[in-house]
Amino acid sequence: MKDEDKTREQLIAELAELKARLERLSSAYRDGPGFDGLTRNPDQTAQLIHLAPFGVFLIDLGGTIVAANRSGAERFGQNIEDLIGTRLSDHAPPDVAEKRSRMGIEALKTRSEVRFEDHIQGRWYDNRVVPIIDPDGRITHLGVYGMDVTERRNNEEALRKNESLLKEAQRLARIGSFERNLGTRETTVSEELYRIYGYEPGEVEPPETMIERHVHSEDREIERKARLDAASKTDRPIEADYRIIRTDGQVRTMHRIVHIERDEAGNPVRAFGTTQDVTERKRIETALKNSELRFREFAELMPETVFEMDETGRLTFVNWNAFEQFGYSVEEFEQGLEALSMVHPEDRERVALNIARSMQGEKTGLNEYVALRRDGTSFPVMIHSSPITREGRFAGLRGFIVDITERKQVEQALNRAKQELEDLYDNSPDLYVSIEPKDGRIIKCNLTAATALGYAKEEIIGRRVFEIYHPDCLETARKTIADFLKTGEVRNVELILRRKDGVRLDVVLNATAVRDEAGNILFSRSAWRDVTQLRQAKEEKARLEQQLRQAQKMEAVGTLAGGVAHDFNNILMGIAGYVSLMEMATDREHPHYDYLKRIQKQVQSATDLTRQLLGFARGGKYEVKPVDPNRLVQGTADMFGRTRKEIRIHFRFQEDVWPVKADRGQIEQTLLNLCLNAWQAMPSGGDLFLSTENVYLDERYTRPYEVEPGRYVKISVTDTGVGMDENTRQRVFDPFFTTRSMGRGTGLGLASAYGIVRNHGGIINVYSEKGQGTTFNIYLPVSDESVGQEAEFPQDIMGGSETILLVDDEPMVLDVGRKMLEWLGYRVLAARSGREALEMYQSRGQEIDLVILDMIMPGFGGGQTFDQLKKIDPDVRVILSSGYSLNGQAMDIMKRGCRGFIQKPYNLDGLSVRVREALGRD
């Protein structure tokens, strides 16, 4: 702000502050450290030179700088290292350099400090040159330091220029200034302050008695509190209004502003400020307040909003009704509200134009606008205003605002009702059309109909209705229209429309006739209800029901297959066990030895068949571990490729493939089945593509398969074979279904693959077209564990001498199991039921080292028996045995502390490994 724009009070306060700052600068510089101290205390030299806030230089007698501080280097815009070794005169214009040289010579001659000022690049510097004298009295160097005094000189100049202005401002504004040293109590006041109190300048000594003596008795507490507030720790100016009694008896009102200057410790050392006679101003303010109060009381009685605004458009007054009407708070009004902000944006230009007309002296009369509440809602108003003028110029508007909402509501009621009906018609979920019956032209339609059919309204109106009906239902449509012309109505007739893009739209038609006074049909009011989604839902329901029937069929067959496999495994157990014992007792040269090996091979084939049955039956997983899908696919492909040279195998593996939770053997069998299926589809050879991919399946994808959404690894097996037709694709996972000739396939390969993948919590699906090849996709859930090192098991038969309790309800299994264990050297105790096993363990548990426990037994099953054994002996060692695989029930028992699992049928080799593994584990 320029000085001529400032108030007198602001100028006086600034001048007082200017004096104080000037005195502080002079005092600081006057009392600053000199080089005398440096010469007497050399140990402090380096620290003072470095930290001094002004330039310090040490110069040898040749004029070369040998030391400088940071401030000195910054003054010349250089680093200290670059400055040392240069001459001081190199860093100044010739005239200044010559003056500095003379001052240095004078200091050498007089052996005393020389002080001078110089002016460089718009800045003033106060310099001192001090000779540095060693203990022998010789001058060894010159010390020079220079302080930037530009601000001080500018302040002195400003003070001189404004001294006269200060006195004149005080006289005209009746403002006096004062200054008090709080330590000495010495007080200085301006001439005008004497006059304010009724004295001639200098008439009263000391002046502080004048200030305190004339305070009105009723206001002394106010004045005292102001002085106490000023002495407190606050840094802000303290203002107070109080009355004085002049020497002539007049009572005048003063407005005082006090500033406090503090020392470094925060203690007040000086007070300065202004005192202004505001008696007349207070009188005028009181009169204005009284006038304003009367106006406000009248305005508050008005049922409408009364307002005043200034020439900038800011509201300066509103009555209480405005707050209720517009929703603003008193605080928001006091912070400043623009009148235009309370007008709807669409009307602001018109309001601004009428304000401009008022500024030109035109009368605007009553005007209707839309006002805006604080919450953004609008309402109609009528405004009448007239201009406010001050000293002949426009100073704002005052007027009133009438809420005409009720009147507008009455005017708009019919239009709104009409529009609502139109909106209901347009936005109805049904497709409404009106059709002229003579030629079938559409004379009206709603927006829903136009949108559903893919047209704009204008495109449909005038079009013949037969252009919209689908060709498949034209005959039905013609018959429906003929019936309508006879009866005047249509009820729930199913028709098909054709969208603009050709897409079929299924609808149900209902229509009534609109007739003239003679009863003739003028047009129809028709409603097409879109039932396309309903039709699709019915189709989806039928598909899901088919899937459910298929799943139930698979489940039923699976249950049967699982039971057959279990019983068959028990039978195979006897065969496999006895054959193993016979093999061990038969010399390799004996002619029957080869027969035994062939029987073993057939038993293994039968075992593989039961494994497929159990896999299809979702009978469980044998051993689930984190598996690397890439290595799994690669290993299976290598095994398959060695015997199928006519098939070219291609790989596309995900590099950072996630590990999956899987039974390695089962998934290998599944992949091998898929590879064999591909080979059979390519009798003349072809390409087989194997790939892995990390994928995330969301709930929308997984829900039909009844698996959890999340991370999966997708394994794809794609061939270039003959493909499948729709019927084959629908039945491909059915058990015993095969496209091969009788005797060339069991039909269990893909059914087993389906059961195995589903039992792993995964998904398997197929995509194929006749002549286009086939792709099987397997989705296996990801394991949170990393892939570990596969354990190696010894191949030799291992025996022992421990005591084993064998528990099984099948006599044959019990007999062959006992014989195999005894052949291995073990002492065997046999139990035919869970209860018998518990009784035996209760009485002879101390001598039993291991229990081989059948899982499926009548009455007291394997799970119950295991739990009771754990109660008798928490450290009991148990191997679980079952004709089923490691399914949910067996897995639960394993988690409760079983030492291992062995699936029937087992031979001597497998039994020996499992037993030693369980006995050797601590």
User: pLDDT tens-digit profile of 179-215?
Assistant: 888 878 888 888 888 888 888 887 776 676 777 788 8
Interval 352-364 mean pLDDT: 85
Residue 716 has what pLDDT? 93
What is the distance between the alpha carbons of residues 469 and 858, in angstroms, rounded to a whole number?
Answer: 69
Q: Name, in order, each residue with C-beta under 8 angstroms of 905's C-beta and a sequence gap of 6 or more.
A: 569, 570, 572, 573, 574, 575, 576, 577, 603, 607
Write phi, then psi, for 216 (nearest 5 degrees). -55, 140
- Domain contains 837: yes
Residue found under tokens 């007792």? 585
Interval 681-705 mean pLDDT: 89
Q: Do 649 and 765 have their domain in common?
A: yes
Interval 359-380 mean pLDDT: 88
Q: Do 641 and 747 have their domain in common?
A: yes
User: pLDDT tens-digit profile of 901-911?
Assistant: 887 887 788 88
Neighbours of 50 (CB within 10 A): 14
- Domain contains 576: no
Residue 29 has what pLDDT? 41
For residue 206, whether the previous peptide bond is cis, meaning omega lies within 30 degrees of 0, is: yes
| Final residue before a domain boundary, out of 216, 250, 283 | 283
Burial of 471 (0-12, 13-18, 19+ CB in 10 A): exposed
What is the distance between the alpha carbons of residues 532 and 541, in angstroms, rounded to a whole number?
Answer: 14
Interval 53-65 mean pLDDT: 83
Residue 650 has what pLDDT? 93
Residue 628 has pLDDT above 90, yes or no: yes
- Domain contains 421: no
| Final residue before a domain boundary, out of 474, 502, 530 | 530
Residue 603 has what pLDDT? 75
Q: How confident is the model at residue 21 (pLDDT cuts 50, 70, 90)?
A: very low
Residue 231 has what pLDDT? 67
- Domain contains 594: no
Q: Do 660 and 759 have their domain in common?
A: yes
Give me the amino acid identity at 503.
Answer: V
Residue found under tokens 């006992």? 818
Record the tokens describing residue 852, joined without a space.
Answer: 């081989």
Q: Do 658 and 765 have their domain in common?
A: yes
User: pLDDT tens-digit profile of 816-840?
Assistant: 888 888 888 999 999 999 899 999 9
Q: How confident is the model at residue 344 (pLDDT cuts 50, 70, 90)?
A: very high
| Residue in 154, 103, 126, 112 with CA at minimum distance from that of residue 28 | 126
Residue 552 has pLDDT above 70, yes or no: no
- Domain contains 819: yes
- Domain contains 544: no
Residue 39 has what pLDDT? 42
> In terms of pLDDT, which residue wins out, 353 or 740?
353
Residue 377 has what pLDDT? 92
Collect contacts of 230-233 with beta carbons under 8 A, ≥24 apart. 230/258, 230/260, 230/268, 230/271, 231/260, 231/268, 233/266
What is the distance between the alpha carbons of residues 236 and 248, in angstroms, rounded to a whole number?
Answer: 35
Region class of 460: left (phi > 0), else alpha (psi between -120 and 50), else beta: alpha
Q: Do 150 and 268 have their domain in common?
A: no
What pairs with residue 762 in β-bridges? none
Pairing of strands 268-277, 850-854: unpaired
Least confident range from 450-464, 542-556, 892-906: namely 542-556
CATH number at 83 reads: 3.30.450.20
| Residue in 105, 155, 145 with CA at minimum distance from that of residue 125 | 145
- Domain contains 440: yes
- Domain contains 590: no
| Residue in 760, 682, 664 with CA at minimum distance from that of residue 723 | 682
Record the tokens describing residue 305, joined without a space.
Answer: 């909003």
Domain count, the chain: 6
Q: Do 695 and 775 have their domain in common?
A: yes
Share of the chain above pLDDT 70, in %: 84
Collapsed DSSP state (helix, strand, coil) of residue 541:
helix
Residue 469 lies in domain: 428-530
What is the distance between the alpha carbons of residues 243 and 340, in angstroms, rounded to a whole number?
Answer: 44
Residue 22 has what pLDDT? 41
Residue 80 has what pLDDT? 81
Mean pLDDT, the chain, integer: 80
Q: How confident is the model at residue 220 (pLDDT cuts 50, 70, 90)?
A: confident
Record the tokens describing residue 120, joined without a space.
Answer: 């460089």
Q: Do 461 and 384 have their domain in common?
A: no
What is the distance between the alpha carbons of residues 670 and 681, in angstroms, rounded to a whole number?
Answer: 17
CATH number at 698 reads: 3.30.565.10
Write phi, then psi, for 682 (nearest 5 degrees). -125, 70
Give me the amino acid identity at 470.
Answer: H
Distances (CA, A) of 125 to 49, 50, 320, 497, 555: 18, 19, 64, 97, 103
Q: Do 192 and 144 have their domain in common?
A: no
